[in-house]
Amino acid sequence: MKYMLLLFFLLSSVIPTRGQAKSPLENVVITSKKKKTQVRTNEYGELHVNVSPKDVSKFNAIGLVRYSDFGAKGDGKTDDIDAIAAAHAFANQKGLLVKADEGATYYIGGKERTAVIRTDTDFGTAAFIIDDTEVQNRNASIFMVSSNLRPFNPEGIASIKRNQEKINVSLPGTCLITVTNSHVKRYIRFGLNQNNGSPQTDIFVVDKNGNVDMDAPIIWDFDQITEITALPIDEKALNITGGRFTTIANRAESKYTYYSRNIAIRRSNVLVDGLEHRVTNEGDHGAPYGGFINIRDCSYVTVKNTILTGHKTYRTIGSAGKPVSMGTYDISVSRALNVSFVNCSQTNDINDRRYWGILGSNYCKNLLYDNCTLSRFDAHMGVANATIRNSTLGHMGINAIGSGVLTVENSTIYGRNLINLRRDYGSTWQGEFFIRNCVFVPAMPSADKPGGSPTSASLIGGSNSGQHDFGYTCYMPERITIENLHIDDSNHPKDYQGPSIFSNFNPQMTDDSYQEKFPYVRTRIVILRNVTTASGKDLRLSDNPFQFKDVKVDTD
């Protein structure tokens, strides 16, 4: 039996070649010799875990393991990451639940070690201290939620079209398909963080017969495919519950060297419930974070009843050679579909401008906030379909570009705009907006200014000069429907003329002489029903009405 266990793990694990650079991810050798259960590390960074036959029988009988079974002290001082990783490695092999010890405080230092989670895990009320002051590898996650199913490269697919309903492929089951055409660049960023764009990428779900899930449709034409990957989707949900995590913030130089000391979710069909994450010891400088909950290359992930923390904003020099504020996140979602945040909040004030907005996302579809109180919703390189409901969003508000339907309902939104279309990606949304039963408070509130700081209020913000090639045609939402919206603009400037539907997207476009090199497709119709203001002033079209002269406004 012991040799079968060893052979199985050797065949299924990634064991580094001696003397080469290596990643400790799953560098674990498990044996079952007639010795005590113990964990040790060899000179190559591998974990060697021996589980006594008696303990193997005991763990199988009760159906779970605890970190203390593998030597974790839980005293808040001893580095327990090796014991934690060993417990998960054995549980993964045997299909066992992992439970943290009640009342324990696990210290995790800067060693490069990742615990791979492939079975249900209950962190319970245990505390985890993640010390980022001296880190061997800032890119190494603390926990990696992973699948036993392996990705593969489907063959015979030469091209794919936007909104294609079926692809000619036979799959072992429902899969997440990621496709890339590296010869086409999209999202060619404009501004202080300018760049040359990213390869055209799309991600979608396909059943075993090749039928595309049209709730998350293909959004690009792929005349050529340079890379395509299929990742089978686990049918059984994996549950991660509880846990009180505290990050001791890094003290690195303030530049774009993102830290990923996090819980990385790389498996579909995952529920995270009841987790808490706090950040301490942030000083006057530090490197940004790429999300404590980092969701990527997966679908059907729900994070609920979770408390997170906004990170302090630091500044650096951007790619244009000028100072910029660095984005830093406690939630990051990339190349992921059907991701929901339900009943989530944050420890710091959602309107405290010292802290960056809590979410950043790229290449996503069907994102949801429901009953959340967070400082920001943001979609950088596009989202296809997003919903914000029963929520309160803070000083960074709603920032998005993308396509499909953006729905905001039963929510209170703070910020400069009700919805800001990101100017660095062309302020583009190819689709519709639905805004229902909401309150918009322009700019940042304070104790003595409950109606927000003095500002001119516009519902839809953005900027596009028509002179920059973003790698795609830029659109404003074709149709905007606003029902039962109250604008709390009570704290307005002396010369305030009332809120506007659109901000001034292009101050240079004041007559027909202005020529757009890359035409910006404007909104066709705005439908307004029961829009009220605290100031009593009427809702206007824009400070630049010429740019929106062809927009039809349908009022009640």
Predicted model pTM: 0.93
Residues, the chain: 556
Structure tokens at 476: 């404003």
Query: In 3D, which of 396, 304, 315 has the Cα closest to residue 348?
Result: 396
CA 453 to chain centre: 29
φ and ψ at residue 245, rounded to 5 degrees: -100, 140
Residue 388's alpha-carbon distances to 116, 168, 318, 369, 436, in angstroms, are 32, 35, 31, 5, 11
Q: Please give the full DSSP string across 297-319, using - where no structure is assigned.
A: EEEEEEEES-EE-PPBP-EEE-T
Query: In 3D, which of 502, 510, 503 has the Cα closest to residue 526?
Result: 502
pLDDT at 7: 37
Structure tokens at 410: 């039963």
Structure tokens at 555: 């009022």
Query: In 3D, which of 259, 231, 27 has the Cα closest to residue 137?
Result: 259
Q: Which residues contact 71 (CB under 8 A, 6 or more apart)?
A: 38, 39, 82, 83, 86
Tell me the sheet residues that pair with 18. none
One-letter identity of residue 130: I
Give the dihedral of Cα atoms 439, 441, 442, 446; nearest 10 deg: -170
What is d(CA 53, CA 61) in angstroms, rounded to the nearest whole number?
A: 12
Place of tokens 């505290």: 246
Q: Which residues contact 187 (CB under 8 A, 6 or more apart)?
A: 197, 198, 380, 381, 382, 425, 470, 471
φ and ψ at residue 513, rounded to 5 degrees: -75, -20
Structure tokens at 340: 């929901």
Structure tokens at 250: 């890094």
Q: Which residues contact 58 (CB under 8 A, 6 or more apart)?
A: none
Contact 245, 280 (CB under 8 A): no
pLDDT at 496: 86
φ and ψ at residue 101, rounded to 5 degrees: -75, 130
Listed by start position, the domains of the chain span: 2-131, 152-188+204-232, 401-556
Contact 331, 308 (CB under 8 A): yes
Query: In 3D, which of 537, 549, 481 has the Cα closest to residue 510?
Result: 549
CA 158 to chain centre: 30
SS3 content of the chain, % helix, strand, coil (to 5): 10, 45, 45
Query: In 3D, which of 109, 105, 107 has the Cα closest to residue 137?
Result: 109
β-strand 175-186 against 227-232: which pairing, if any? antiparallel
Element (H, E) at 83: helix 81-94
Q: How many CB atoms lie within 10 A of CB 324?
A: 15
Give, for all 556 residues of the chain, the pLDDT tens digit: 333 343 333 333 333 322 333 344 568 999 999 889 999 999 888 999 999 999 999 999 999 999 999 999 999 999 999 999 999 999 999 999 999 999 999 999 999 999 999 999 999 999 999 999 999 999 999 999 999 999 999 998 999 999 999 999 989 999 999 999 999 999 999 999 999 999 999 999 999 999 999 999 999 999 999 999 999 999 999 999 999 999 999 999 999 999 999 999 999 999 999 999 999 999 999 999 999 999 999 999 999 999 999 999 999 998 889 999 999 999 999 999 999 999 999 999 999 999 999 999 999 999 999 999 999 999 999 999 999 999 999 999 999 999 999 999 999 999 989 999 999 999 999 999 999 999 999 974 444 555 555 567 899 999 999 999 999 999 999 999 999 999 999 887 888 889 999 999 999 999 999 999 999 999 999 999 999 999 999 999 999 999 999 999 999 8
Q: Which residues contact 84 (CB under 8 A, 6 or more apart)?
A: 67, 70, 72, 106, 108, 115
Query: In 3D, which of 102, 42, 39 has the Cα closest to residue 74?
Result: 102
Order the strands of the 198-206 sheet from edge to edge: 198-206, 175-186, 227-232
First vs last C-alpha separation in the chain? 77
What is d(CA 67, CA 47) in angstroms, rounded to the nearest whole number?
A: 15
One-letter identity of residue 293: I
